[in-house]
Amino acid sequence: MSSELSKIAAKIQDKSLREKVTQLIEKPTIRIGEREYTGLPLAVSPAGLSHHHSYSGGLLEHMEASTEIALGLCKIVERIYGGKVDRDLVIAGMLLHDIFKPLTYERMEDGTYATAPLADRLDHLTLAVSKMIRMGFPLDLVHIVGAHHGGSAGPIWPRTIEALICHLADITDSRLNGEVLRAARYLSRTATGEELNINSSKEAFDIVRSKQSEHSNSEKANLAVKDAIERIIAERKKG
Ligand SMILES: [Fe+2]
Ligand SMILES: [Fe+2]
């Protein structure tokens, strides 16, 4: 497990829950019929194919960022609204909510990602919920994972404070990352006539930053974006 994920998992106070969560993160596989499905390694999996975190390592970033957002929401609920939150459930929920996304993608020869055959039959929520029930996770945690897309894009709306927090944290991070990716792609297209294939969140944030720091006229802004893209391409060649 990555050191960042280990640090987050260590915040789960309940020992047996912490161990179970760690066990699933370390081996996110599922047996269906005669076959054991193993997806992309967690460390390289994206968290989406185009909308958000759609690059290698995107899922890890999303797990980390959505947990931070969720913990911020826990603080707000308790300090400002006087509510009570079970943080163990929230942390475990954020770590596990997309744990089966790596099973739904595959890497193509050109380095891009595509939908894996398993994802033609089952989505990452159904896979995670099934596995978690088999592993004996508590119902309230299974609910968080099942409800993280909300009721219009998933099987059930959040019915607990913890599930609501996780749902909102998931949407917030997906939007934050997705909007910046979309803007960076658009800016690269307008500045160079060709859309840059964004390889990391840093690249996307760099491009958007270059545009916003040069807002006196659009020609200068386009030049700043072009410069940023050239820097990114040079960096890629180095690395
Ligand atoms: Fe999801
Ligand atoms: Fe998510």
| pLDDT tens digits for range 151-180 | 999 999 999 999 999 999 999 999 999 999
Q: Quick check: 188 pLDDT over 80?
A: yes
Query: In the prediction, which pLDDT does 111 show?
Result: 85
Per-residue burial over 78-115, b = 16 or more CB atoms within 10 Å of its CB, e = otherwise: eeeeeeebbbbbbbbbbbbbbbbbbbbbeeeeeeebee
Query: In the prediction, which pLDDT does 216 show?
Result: 76
For the stretch 218-236, pLDDT in tens is: 888 899 999 999 999 999 9
Task: Tell me the mean pLDDT in the region 49-63.
Answer: 95
> Measured between alpha carbons, how far is 158 from 206 in angstroms, rounded to an integer?
35
Q: Cβ atoms within 10 A of the Cβ of 57, count?
A: 18
User: Could you tell me the distance, in angstroms and rounded to a whole number, from the CA of residue 171 to the centre of ligand 1?
Assistant: 9
Percentage of the chain beyond pLDDT 90 is 92
Q: Cβ atoms within 10 A of the Cβ of 5, count?
A: 20
User: Could you tell me the distance, in angstroms and rounded to a whole number, from the CA of residue 38 to the centre of ligand 2?
Assistant: 19
Ion ligand 1: protein residues whose beta carbon lies under 5 Å: 98
User: Could you tell me the distance, in angstroms and rounded to a whole number, from the CA of residue 170 to the centre of ligand 2?
Assistant: 5
Instruction: Tell me the range of 66-75, 106-115, 210-219 where mean pLDDT is highest.
Output: 66-75
User: Could you tell me the distance, in angstroms and rounded to a whole number, from the CA of residue 194 to the centre of ligand 1?
Assistant: 30
pLDDT, the chain, mean: 96
Token pair belonging to 178? 């997705």
Please tell me the number of the ligand nearest to residue 153's CA.
1
User: Could you tell me the distance, in angstroms and rounded to a whole number, from the CA of residue 177 to the centre of ligand 2?
Assistant: 11
For residue 17, give the nearest of 142, 188, 112, 165 by alpha carbon.
Answer: 142
- Helix, coil or strand: residue 80: helix
Query: In the prediction, which pLDDT does 239 show?
Result: 75
Torsion (CA) 138, 121, 123, 198 in degrees, nearest 10:
150
User: Could you tell me the distance, in angstroms and rounded to a whole number, from the CA of residue 25 to the centre of ligand 2?
Assistant: 15
Query: In the prediction, which pLDDT does 213 show?
Result: 85
| Confidence at 1, pLDDT banded by 50, 70, 90 | confident
Q: Helix, strand, coil shares of the chain as percentages rounded to 5?
A: 60, 5, 30
| Confidence at 100, pLDDT banded by 50, 70, 90 | very high
User: Could you tell me the distance, in angstroms and rounded to a whole number, from the CA of residue 173 to the centre of ligand 2?
Assistant: 8
Query: In the prediction, which pLDDT does 141 show?
Result: 98
Task: Tell me the mean pLDDT in the region 129-150.
Answer: 98
User: Could you tell me the distance, in angstroms and rounded to a whole number, from the CA of residue 216 to the centre of ligand 1?
Assistant: 40
Query: In the prediction, which pLDDT does 99 show?
Result: 98
Q: What are phi and psi of 174, to 5 degrees?
A: -65, -40
Query: In the prediction, which pLDDT does 60 show?
Result: 97
User: Could you tell me the distance, in angstroms and rounded to a whole number, from the CA of residue 41 to the centre of ligand 2?
Assistant: 17
- 45, 54 Cβ separation under 8 angstroms: no
| β partners of residue 107 | 113
- 101, 95 Cβ separation under 8 angstroms: no
